[in-house]
Amino acid sequence: MDIFDMEIIIQPTAEAATSIAARIIACLLREKPNAVLGLATGSTPLLLYRELIAMKLDWRKVTTFNLDEYVGLDAAHPQSYHSFMWENLFWHVNIPAKNVNIPNGMTKNIPACCESYERKILAVGGIDLQVLGIGTDGHIGFNEQTSSLASRTRIKTLTPRTRKDNARFFGSEAKVPHHVITMGIGTILDARHCLLLAFGKQKARAIAEAVEGPVTSMNPASVLQLHPKVTVCLAAGAASKLKLRDYYRWVFDQKPDWQKI
Ligand code: F6R
């Protein structure tokens, strides 16, 4: 039976938390070979993609939509999210290129590109499962603080903090683009299942606010509290500021067999 709730899963390590997330995705692809996945980039999902590749799942009928892309980076740029996704996942699984969707950072018409991205998601029946990381300020996708909680795919300006956080990929902060195209918070909320991953102490505050704080655009991930089906897979560091962490651990340990992942 399917569970509709926010489930917080705390594991000792990023590897253990990732392995649960990978099993959730594997289950979905086995049950629904033509599933539609929403995917994220950044450091967090790297282990997940590695594990999914190792599982040798069948991706022939899977369709994917990535959350975001930098404006001004062409697909071949080493730091584009196109390059990231092909290098870290798509080249290693049997997904047809036509099933892969990533916003075009080089489009001449950003509003039209965003609208057609939304239309394409609708046309395939919506996203079954959306993988999410979280920024140190609580952003999901590149919906920075104070983003509209009803926003759709659009252009956003990155905050200085996010540009600083992402400078590690570019070698210097000056090289990090200022603008991105990102799915909106409303777009993310439309996914039938959201799977949020976070590891490391640097994410602890954002996670505590997202899960236990008020719903506020100052922590965009907190809007997931309004979503009917969210799984939050955390390594202990990222869970360290959760007030109810012992309760979440207890709930997970007591799961009846029929609910086990
Ligand atoms: C990336 C994305 C971002 C990242 C977030 C965390 O597609 O949507 O929200 O998930 O910035 O990044 P990492 O995982 O690098 O800490």
Domain presence at residue 146? yes
Q: How many domains is the chain partitioned into structurally?
A: 1
Is 203 a member of any domain?
yes
Q: Where residue 217 sits, what CATH number does that domain have? A: 3.40.50.1360
CA of 138 to the centre of ligand 1 (A): 10
Q: Which of 139, 147, 183, 202 to mutate to test the pocket of ligand 1 (most atoms within 8 A of CB)?
A: 139
Confidence tier at 1 by pLDDT (50, 70, 90): low
For residue 11, the CA-to-ligand 1 centroid distance in Å is 20
Domain presence at residue 1: no
Q: 51, 69, 128, 137: which is the annotated catalytic residue?
A: 137
For residue 128, indicate whether it is catalytic. Answer: no
| Residue 197 domain-assigned (yes or no) | yes
Residues 21-28, mean pLDDT to the nearest whole number:
97
| 202 vs 218: CA distance, rounded Å | 17
The domain of 53 spans 6-255
**Position 119 in a domain:** yes
Say if residue 164's pLDDT is above 80: yes
pLDDT at position 261 is 73
Is 62 a member of any domain? Answer: yes
Q: What is the mean pLDDT of residues 113-139?
A: 98
Query: Does 48 fall in a domain?
Result: yes
pLDDT digits (tens, 9 = 90+) for 49-92: 999 999 999 999 999 999 999 999 999 999 999 999 999 999 99
Q: How far from chain centre, in Å, is Cα 97?
A: 20
64 close to 37: Cβ distance less than 8 angstroms: yes
Q: Is residue 260 part of a domain?
A: no
| pLDDT score of 3 more than 70 | no
Tell the residue nearest (CA) to atom 10 of ligand 1. 133
**Per-residue pLDDT reduced to its tens digit, 170-214:** 999 999 999 999 999 999 999 999 999 999 999 999 999 999 999
pLDDT band of residue 37 (cuts 50, 70, 90) is very high
Task: Say which DSSP state 159 is in.
Answer: P
Burial 69-100 (b: 16+ CB within 10 A, else e): bbbebeeeeebbbbbbbbebbbebbebeeebb
State the pTM of this model.
Answer: 0.97
